[in-house]
Amino acid sequence: MTQKLTGLKIRAYRKERGLTQADLAQRVGISAPYLNLIEGNRRPVGDALLKRICAELDVGIAQLDGGAERRLVQALEELAADPRIGDARGRPANAEELVGRHPDWSDFILRLFRAYEDQRQAVLALADRLNRDPFLGENVHQMLTSAASLSSAAEILAGGNLSEEERRRFDAIVQADGARLSKTARALLGFFDNTEMRIRSATPSEHVDSFILQENNHFPALEALAESFPGSFPHGGFEDAAPLREGFSESGHAVAAPETRRFALMKQTAHRIGREAVAEIVSGHLALPSEESRDLARAALHSYLAGAMLMPYERFLEAAERHRYDINALCRQFGVSYEQAAHRLVTLRRPGAEGVPFAFMRSDVSGHVTKRLPLPGLALPRYTTACPLWVIYGAFQTPEITVRLYGELPSGDQFLFFARAVDKTPPRVGYPRKLLSVMMACPASEAGRVVYGDGLDRGSAVVPIGTVCRLCPREECVYRQEEPLIAGSDISDKRRMATDI
Amino acid sequence: MSDRILIVEDEPNIVESLRFILERADYDVHSISDGRAALERLREQPYSVVVLDIMLPGMNGLDVLRAVRQDDKLAHLPVIVLTAKGQAQDRRAAAKVGANSFITKPYSNAEVVKRVGEFAGR
């Protein structure tokens, strides 16, 4: 790339100085056709020759080989690859030439794109606000007004010492504002239901998320199949599962951790024995409208079945309760990885024999969320990073050590969060370390059943957190990265005001 | 003579309750529902304390308050902002334009009477 830019720049400087190719070629001791090849990027230019050319053109080497141009080329290439701007077929491929010949115009294009990107972000933010604020703001205001009127009239009625006419008047106010409050609350409920409809997933993997959530992440048919399967697995490795090795290829798994190999083996078995049951669950499910989404759902269910065979429901639930949901203890007992055990805990939703309800979230170090299973009252972000205070990020600071926190959302709901960054580095020399953080969360009211709540004082150690900055009303939060889009109500602020009055 | 109180509020049921509790506390209570008309009324007639909502038709409460503070004759008139807009930024905005006190809805009747009493010099 440098060479290409250099040739084009030699040509530009030569012309600027009013020299012909023949003039410059003669001065630096090469033939004109050879200089033509250099300028046309068809021949490289060696260091010694470049120095002579620079001397003749009276420019520094840095001017012919600048880092700024390289960055410009990279930025333009990235821009050209942006699917919002062009498609892959028509993608311009000669950014180097553009930068070499027209650096000013190249810079201009880049600035234009940045301006467009800024405007696009502003439009998105405004659209979001327009979509939500007027209705929400108006209705919340209406609710508070009705509540104020209701409580004031109720206080007057409770105070007594009223004439019959006064009593009738304030009774009527209580009735009217009670009815108005209900009506507004119903309208808001409808709004949120519709909002959920509008933001429902639109891509295959999001369809699978919706499907799993709709089923409460519990599939009784697969649980039954796992339990009926002979030799639900003692752990220890392949030798324990010798009859199942048939048809299993070890390629790709030969150097993986034992629990990963066991899971891979079990998944192949799940494919074989679970095909019909999985097909029946997936077939015709309204949340899975495309073949692609059904393919992904089938893969997820085969993994589910593999997990259920390695960690049979009743035995796993009993062990979880006995170990107070200590995931490391469960890993040891069932010979599975941290993530496999954590994920299995989320599936303990059999009616009448439920475990502690958990949300599950997995992120890589860049904040990319690779798996999410929310809980009622605890939304997990899909497209963006979560609140920086969540332990899912803090866990990267101390890999393989669990970090935990009591957090209170702006809604006032409290959850116990705990997370651990697990090492998924490919077992090959020279590869950078790959960490994935697995976070679980349960309602704080359930924390007594969970070992991760031990020693944390819920009375004093609750940290005010949000879900994502754009939707969090905690204005004073020093961890904030983005301004909030929706004017919400900060519960801690409300509490302060209540004591002021 | 009783202190004259002006309630600037567009929600009739709230006006009725406020009027009732303040009259019981022996104030001479007047009310008006439009922001712009309220400003005119304040320029025409003397009041001891104003109880002012923010979300008002005509002219919002903060604009009314700003105009009050810019009027030499009204600059020191005690104004209690009584609003459903109860977030920290609303409180700051009210303080910035010169509110003497800030009460969020829902409120306690006793608190309203107490604050009005403080500013009426009782």
Which residue is it, tokens 């090492």?
A: A423
Q: Which residues of B touch A149 (CB under 8 A)?
A: 11, 13-14, 17
- The pLDDT score that the predictor gives to residue A461 is 76
Percent of chain B past pLDDT 90, that is, above it, reads 84
| Dist CA A469 CA A385 (whole Å) | 9
pLDDT band at residue A65 under the 50/70/90 scheme:
low
The token duo for A415 is 């959850």
Chain A: give the shortest CA distance to residue B57, in Å.
14
Q: How many helices (H) and strands (E) does chain B have?
A: 5, 5
* A169 with B103: Cβ contact below 8 A: no
Q: Could you say which of A140, A149, A501 has the minimum Cβ distance to residue B11?
A: A149
Is the backbone of residue A436 left (phi > 0), alpha (psi -120 to 50) or beta? beta
Give the domain CATH number at B79: 3.40.50.2300
**Three-state DSSP class for A105?**
helix
Nearest-CA distance from B84 to chain A in Å?
6
Residues of chain A contacting B91 with CB distance shorter than 8 Å: 497
Mean pLDDT of chain B: 93
Is the pLDDT at A13 greater than 80, yes or no? yes
What is the domain range of residue B56? 4-119
- The residues that bridge with A405 in the sheet, in sequence order, are A417
Does ipTM surpass 0.90 in this model?
no
Mutate to test the interface with A, among B17, B56, B107 (most CBs of A within 10 A): B17
d(CA A423, CA A436): 7
Do A345 and A327 meet the contact criterion of CB atoms below 8 Å apart?
yes
Domains and CATH numbers, chain A: 2-101 (1.10.260.40), 129-198 (1.10.287), 356-501 (3.30.450)
- 8 Å CB contact between B33 and B57: yes
Reduced to 3 states, what is the DSSP secondary structure of residue A64? helix
User: CA-CA distance, A261 to A265, in Å (whole number)?
Assistant: 6
Q: Which residues contact A496 (CB under 8 A, 6 or more apart)?
A: none
Whether residue A16 is predicted with pLDDT greater than 80 in this model: the reply is yes
Q: Looking at the predicted structure, is the pLDDT value of residue A303 above 90? A: yes
Measure B72 CA to nearest chain A CA, in Å.
Answer: 30
User: In the predicted model, what is the mean pLDDT of residues A138-149?
Assistant: 86
Asked if A438 and A362 touch (Cβ cutoff 8 Å), the reply is: yes
Nearest to B3 by CA among B121, B98, B111: B121
Task: Give the position of tokens 């930025």.
Answer: A75
**A257 pLDDT exceeds 80?**
no
DSSP of B41-64: HHHHS--SEEEE-SS-SSS-HHHH
Tokens of A252: 């790709």
Q: What is the pLDDT of residue A383?
A: 57
Q: Choose the closest CB to A156 out of B11, B17, B84.
A: B17
Closest residue in B to A501 (Cα) is B111
Given a cut of 80, whether residue A54 has pLDDT beyond it is: yes
Contacts of residues B97-100 at CB distance under 8 Å and 24 or more positions apart, as own/partner, are B97/B62, B97/B65, B97/B66, B97/B69, B98/B65, B98/B66, B98/B68, B98/B69, B99/B52, B99/B65
- Tell me the pLDDT band of A382, cut-offs 50, 70 and 90: low
B22 and chain A in contact, CB less than 8 A: no
Query: What are A439's strand-pairing partners?
Result: A361, A419
Determine contact: B93 vs chain A, CB below 8 A.
no
Average pLDDT of chain A is 80
How sure is the predictor about A134, in pLDDT bands with cuts at 50, 70 and 90?
low
Q: Does the pLDDT at position A245 exceed 80?
A: no
- pLDDT tens-place string over residues A78-120: 777 666 665 555 567 778 788 878 878 888 888 888 777 777 7
Residue B35 — pLDDT band, cuts 50, 70, 90? very high
Residue A10: pLDDT above 50? yes
pLDDT for A159: 86
What's the pLDDT score for residue A71? 65
A112 or A341, which is more confident? A341
Average pLDDT over residues B108-114: 94
* B48 has pLDDT over 80: yes
pLDDT category at A8 given cuts 50, 70, 90 is: confident
Is the model's pLDDT at A246 over the cut of 60? no
pLDDT of A70 reads 65
The per-residue pLDDT for A133 is 56
In this prediction, residue B61 carries a pLDDT of 94
- According to the model, what pLDDT value does residue A110 have? 80
For residues A223-252, give the mean pLDDT: 55
- A68-86 average pLDDT score: 69
The pLDDT tens digits for A266-295 are 999 999 999 999 999 998 787 787 787 899
- Report the b/e string of A222-252 with b at 16+ CB within 10 A: bbebbeebeeebebeeeeebeebeeebeeee
Phi, psi values for residue B101, rounded to 5°: -155, 160
| pLDDT reported for residue A301 | 95
Which member of B18, B55, B110 has the closest CB to residue A141?
Answer: B55
Prediction pTM value: 0.48
**Partner-chain contact A152 B88, CB within 8 Å:** no
Check if the beta carbon of residue A360 is closer than 8 Å to that of residue A415: no
Total domain count for chain B?
1
Q: Closest Cα of chain B to A414: distance in Å? A: 21
Q: Give me the pLDDT at residue A259, please.
A: 84
Closest chain A residue by Cα to residue B85: A141
Minimum CA–CA partner of B12 in chain A: A149
Give pLDDT, residue A493: 39
Encoding tokens for residue A76?
């333009």
pLDDT above 70: residue B82? yes
Q: With an 8 Å Cβ cutoff, is B5 touching chain A?
A: no
Please tell me the predicted confidence (pLDDT) of residue B24.
95
Residue B115 has pLDDT above 90, yes or no: yes
Q: Which helix (H) or strand (E) holds A69?
A: helix A67-80
> What DSSP designation does A378 have?
B
pLDDT of A420-472, one tens digit each?
999 887 767 777 888 999 999 999 999 999 999 998 887 777 899 988 776 67
Maximum average pLDDT range among A97-101, A375-379, B55-59, B108-112: B108-112
